[in-house]
Copies of this chain bind each other. A is one copy, B any other.
Amino acid sequence: MTESFPLGPLFRRWSRRLALSSDDKNAVASLEWTRRQFQRDAYLAREGEPTNICTLLIEGVAYRQKILSDGSRQIISFHIAGEFLDLQNCLLEVADHNVQALTRCNVAAVPKELLLEVMNARSAVGRAIWLDSLIDASVFREWVVNVGRRDAKQRIAHLLCELASRLKAAGLGEGPMFDFPLTQEHIGDATGLTAVHTNRTLQALRRAGLISLGASKLTVLDWDSLAQTGDFNERYLHHSV
């Protein structure tokens, strides 16, 4: 299914927010996409490298991160099927962060010049792609707030709410239960905490009956309490426009 029409998740996501004609979709679909596979933990892009292509995630989970001079890592965002991993490549010549596969990843890449051409030729596509990058930025802003002003329990609750909300919007997951391949170290690196403290905080969330997490499955047992704990308001995700 994803093999026969790998752009499905992208078009479904776009159509939630704006209207695209079939000509628009065809223009995107007929680009020269190059398919590639990446193993778990593999780097899809590295900071400092020149940018040539834009990458769409077809299957799997990936994340963006920066490594500091002392070796510590900060994760900047997580991405699921149907999302671009590096739209900024279109206009920036050098990558300013790393992109890494969290699970095995299946991607489709296109030369950035070709994507720019389609954006130019079909303004609806141009808007869809700009919108994607604007929503990325909105999520970054919320993450600044999350790591800047929330304590450990709030940060993790907020992150779990975001991921659950996005997975649900993408049609993934069954009810309150989601595939959840992140390790506690990923969660810690995304929230600015250590893996140890992440572990203790997750236990507190479990004890409070808010979530069940394990075996690569996340279940949100009490959405309202989890959202309240994490001070979560999904406005910044701009699920509809």
Contacts and interface: CB of A to CB of B under 8 A. Distances in A.
A127 interface: yes
A69 B47 CA distance: 36
Copy total for this chain: 2
Given A134-B133, A147-B192, A192-B148, A127 B91 contact: yes
Nearest to A191: B148
A24 interface: no
Interface string A191-231: 11000000000000000000000000000000000000001
B238 A92 contact: yes
Given A66-B141, A68-B150, A94-B235, 19 more contacts: A68-B145, A68-B149, A72-B149, A76-B144, A90-B134, A91-B127, A92-B131, A92-B241, A96-B138, A96-B141, A120-B123, A120-B126, A126-B126, A133-B134, A137-B137, A140-B144, A144-B144, A147-B148, A148-B192
Interface of A: 47-48, 64, 66, 68-70, 72-74, 76, 87-88, 90-94, 96-97, 116, 120, 123, 126-127, 130-131, 133-138, 140-145, 147-150, 191-192, 231, 235-236, 238, 241
